[in-house]
Structure 1
Amino acid sequence: TYLEVNPDIAAAGVNPFSHYIVTGRGEGRSLKIDLGFRYEILKAAPSLEDRVRWLRESSPDPEPSDVQHLVSALQQVGASTRLHITISHDDFTANLGGVQLCLTRESEAMRARDATHIHLYPAAAGLVIEFERRQPMVGVLINGERVGFFSAETLVEHLGPFATDRVLTFAVHSFLGHSIITMTAVLRAMNAQEGFFWIHDFASVCANYALMRNDVAFCGAPPPDSPACSVCLYGRRRRIHLAEHGRFFQAFAMTVLAPSQAALDLWLSSFPVKPAATKVHPHAKLRKRKADGEGGDRRGPLKVAFLGMPAPHKGWPVYERLVERFADDPRYEFHHLGKTKDPAIEAKFTAVEPTPEIAEPMAAAVEALEIDVAVIWSLCPETFCFTAYEAVAGGAKVVTNPDAGNVPRFVAETKNGLVAQDEHALMAMFQRGDVLPLGRAVRGQPLYSLSYSKMSADFVAETLS
């Protein structure tokens, strides 16, 4: 109860309801004993093995497609002597997200160079890499068109000869859902020798691709035999992920491509096999717009927004607490921009969803709503974070934490916001008003556009010239 959590109010003999309404809410006092959102996640979390089993039961492999579909599709690609293979966790033409948009740009760039693009993805979605099933089915796209689902033996039989006398390049964007042994066999059948491996996340380092110990805190990727891993529900499968990815790196000369130095540093410190080469290649860069000027005269509360999916690992519970604490503070106006609304929070919701038609929908929404500050409080290390770049492109500043990977580096290097050491520091920052100078009316409102990379295509240009 309120009096149990606030014994000073009980001792004073004050009516708890009246005190909370008049004073307690503004002071940030709790209504009940709150063990925090991390406790709630731990209490409700099923085991990883249960989650893997449930997903396999709900999303089984489809029946294999007619092999003639693959044969016909390969015959129709024409006389192109260039072949580019990509591997990821899903059909990038059917889903929208950061990795999918990256693959779309890579595919378009390779096809513009007259290369045949073949994309391989798991027919059944997977939380982890596949090693238990003997014959996992593989989905195939050729030049952006879905061909069907085939066994590894079928792919070896038909893709091997197809690659003969063609200049072959390949890029791995994710092995989640795949059997790495299967993918190795397919690539060897095509006589692949070297390729690219993208650090979009840390699935190559752990079964938890976000490096969240028990889904509640960034672990720092300690040694796999450490006590920290022994108490984590991902510990056992982490060893499998490291071993399987390690064998792949021993089979091929892999150049690791990371979208940020922060991502590369963390990966290098935790992966057991030295790659053939490494490069930092940002997915996008900010370019100052010539139109839409500096400064503004808008008055009113500081517009603060959470951008994207309201998920725990993205820091949504922390933002919820921030809104609850300062909802009645006239200095602030809280927003949520994203695809899914949480009706429990007192924040103005604006629907924003990635579409192929709008290059930067979040940036456009941030600009249109004149958001001053984006709270990007990822609890896990972001390898790049398009959201942070789009926030700044739309004229907002960013408030983040030290564990958010590339986000605090981006903020510090570009001077586009503040880094709060933890949740308590974040609350204190808003209480003191340290974020108020980040308002557009105070610091102006520079606007940017994003210049996107062509992903792996930027590195295979010479090979295919």
Structure 2
Amino acid sequence: MRNKLLGEIVNNKYVIAISFANYLESKSGMPKVMMAHQQLYNNHGISYVSLFSVKKTFFSDRYMLFCKFGLIVDGEFKGIYQMSQLIHLFKKWEIRGYSLIDIHIHHLMYMNINLIEDLLMSSNDVPVKVYLHDYYNACTGYTLLKNNLDYCGGRGFSEQVCSGCRFYKQSNVIEPQIQALLRRNLGRITFISPSQTTKNIFLNFHPEFGERIIVLPHQIYFDHYDGNAEQLASNQTVRIGFLGMPRRHKGWETWSRLVSNCSGDGYQFIVFNSSNDSYANMSKVKVGFSGSNLNAMTDALRKSQIHVALLWSIWPETYSYTCFEAFSANAFIITNKNSGNIADVVRANNNGIVLENEKQLLDLFQDRDGLLDRINNFRKTEVGGPKQLYENDEIVRLSLRFSKKSTIKDSHRLVDYPLLWILNYLYNRKSLVNK
């Protein structure tokens, strides 16, 4: 493990990305961003070094027994290490001529904040980007669903507004730690919001960060896709898609009720996700992104000629990949007013409908002819969604624009700990079993 830790990297510049997820294995939005970033930075001759938390907590994550970090360098998993070992590694890299140009904090969930502070203090001249993938930097109820039920309104954190929520006590403990970390390093922090909605909601909680935040979408798109735009016949089965894993905050309960009420009424309900699961009264298309195909969902939707995408997120999405994937397949998007970035995209592009509540959704599907008219009118007037989605490399330009030769401060000795040997053994064994 020691020799592997002290190995060299390919490029003479590198960025560090911090999160709770191994982006080589996870299939949600944040890991997709990180996988895209690895490719973008590597294409610009910059190495991408990911640190993801490996931890053990008790009592609903209120107490942390330990927090170590998995190390991924340019898409290759290297092992699990102490933060002190990693700082020592980065110092060794500096001595060998490698320069740390940026630190990305993608998420602080499941982290020992003191260890992140150690890393930032060891490299206190390096710019820091804090990503807003959800609202964890404002509330531990990161979807802003009060008691995990309904959207709280995102008006800010206070006893008056939040005391009746299950996340209030936990947020009162964790959020001050996060805010202290951010304020101590505020002079070099840029908050990266992937959408205007996310920026607005985050600033409801922390208006003091208003001068430090920018909007930077994860993707940019070009040209128009002209496929899947034919008029639907009155007797044609309407293909409705649910995109992603069956999660309540993604609208799965509403989707399930819709299927129960309307199955067999001229609709085919299709689930698109990476699982091996099957679902009653629904068809299934297995699809998951990879480093070689980040646009796998778009390809699957186009191939399936999906007519409607139900994107019924009940929380304010920060950046919905599935929204842009459905848009790129010329699917008519149905969503609700609380879906954040999804509702904004639909309103801006007239590529669907934004409803008030579930009753309106069920009424819409009960009137099949009316829904067909909406779909056909959309197909008649729409110029077409994006033909191609590209990952936005503006983040790389930001890293390079403010980069300078960094200085790593390190007083640690490189020590191998028995717990680390155990964790590495168990983690590698799990990876082999899951292959």
Q: Report the TM-score range of the alignment, normalised by the length of the smaller protein.
A: 0.7 to 0.9
SS of alignment partner, residue 123 of structure 1: strand
- Summarize deviations over 1:356-392 as a string: whole Å, max 9, x none: 3333222222222222111110111110101011111
Taking the TM superposition and a 5 Å limit, the aligned residue runs for 1:97-116 are 97-116=28-47
Query: Which residue is equivalent to 2:431?
Result: none
- Bigger Cα displacement from structure 2, 381-390 vs 350-359: 350-359
> CA offset at residue 441 of structure 1?
8.4
Which residue of 1 is the match for residue 433 of structure 2?
none
Counterpart of 1:325 in structure 2 is: 261
CA positional deviation for 1:223: 4.4
Residue 452 (structure 1) aligned to one of 367, 374, 391: 391
Deviation at 1:336, TM superposition (A): 2.1
Structure 1 position 173, deviation (Å) = 0.8
Q: Report the equivalent of 2:420.
A: none
- Aligned 8 A contact 1:89 1:174 in 2: yes
Q: CA RMSD in A?
A: 2.9
Asked whether the equivalents of residues 137 and 151 of structure 1 are also in contact (C-alpha less than 8 Å), the reply is yes
User: Retained in 1: the 8 A contact 2:243–2:272?
Assistant: yes
Separation (CA, whole Å) in 1 of partners of 2:367 and 2:15: 54
Aligned sequence identity (%)? 21
CA distance in 2, matches of 1:126, 1:370: 45
Structure number with the higher strand fraction is 2
Which one of 117, 135, 148 corresponds to residue 202 of structure 1? 135
**Offset of 1:85 from its aligned partner?**
1.1
1:241 paired with 2:174, answer yes
Distance 2:339 2:376 in 1: 24
Deviations 1:131-188 (A, max 9, x none): 8447521111222222222222223333245346735211111112211210111121
Map residues 4-403 of structure 1 onto 2, 5 A cutoff: 66-71=1-6, 73=7, 76-77=8-9, 80-124=11-55, 132-133=63-64, 135-160=66-91, 162-163=93-94, 166-252=99-185, 253-271=188-206, 273-274=208-209, 277-289=212-224, 292=227, 295-296=230-231, 300-330=236-266, 332-340=267-275, 345-403=280-338
Return closer, same or farther for 1:291/1:229 CA change in 2, 3 Å cut-off.
closer
Q: 1:101 to 1:407 in 2, by over 3 A?
A: same
Which whole-Å deviations, capped at 9, do the CAs of 1:7-43 have from their partners, x for residues lacking one? xxxxxxxxxxxxxxxxxxxxxxxxxxxxxxxxxxxxx
In the alignment, does 2:336 pair up with 1:405?
Answer: no
Q: Normalization by structure 1: what TM-score?
A: 0.77
Q: Distance in 2 between matches of 1:129 and 1:145?
A: 31
Deviation for aligned residue 1:344:
5.4
Q: Separation in 1 of the partners of 2:111 and 2:141?
A: 15
SS of 1:206's equivalent in the other structure is coil
Q: Give the whole-Å Cα distance in 2 for the aligned partners of 1:268 and 1:210.
A: 15
Change in Cα spacing, 1:321 to 1:131, as seen in structure 2 (3 Å) is closer
Give the letter for the 1:307 counterpart.
L
Larger RCO, structures 1/2 (Cα 8 Å, 6+ apart): 2
**Which protein has the larger Cα radius of gyration, Structure 1 or Structure 2?**
1
Per-residue CA shift, 1:329-361, capped at 9, x if unaligned? 23x332222234765532222222223333322
Q: Distance in 2 between matches of 1:155 and 1:342?
A: 39
Q: Which residue of 2 aligns with 1:439?
A: 375
Rounded to whole Å, the distance in 2 between the matches of 1:103 and 1:385 is: 15
Task: Give the C-alpha shift of residue 226 in structure 1.
Answer: 2.6
8 A contact 2:240–2:307 mirrored in 1: yes
Point out the more displaced range, 240-249 or 391-400: 240-249
Question: Does the aligned pair in 2 maintain the 1:129–1:175 contact within 8 Å?
Answer: no
Alignment-mate amino acid for residue 253 of structure 2? P
**Inter-partner Cα distance in structure 1 for 2:212 and 2:358:** 38
TM-superposed CA distance for 1:121, in Å, is: 1.0
SS across alignment from 1:337: strand
Over 3 Å counting, the alpha-carbon distance change for 1:357 and 1:441 in structure 2 is: farther
Equivalent residue pairs, number: 395
Contact 1:378 1:404 in 2 (8 A): yes
**Alpha-carbon contact 1:320-1:345 (below 8 Å) kept:** no
TM-score between both structures, scaled by the size of structure 2: 0.82
Gaps of 5+ in 1: 1-65
Instruction: Classify 1:218/1:387 alpha carbon distance in 2 versus 1 (closer, same or farther; 3 Å).
Output: same
Instruction: Report if the CA contact (8 A) 1:152-1:186 is conserved.
Output: yes
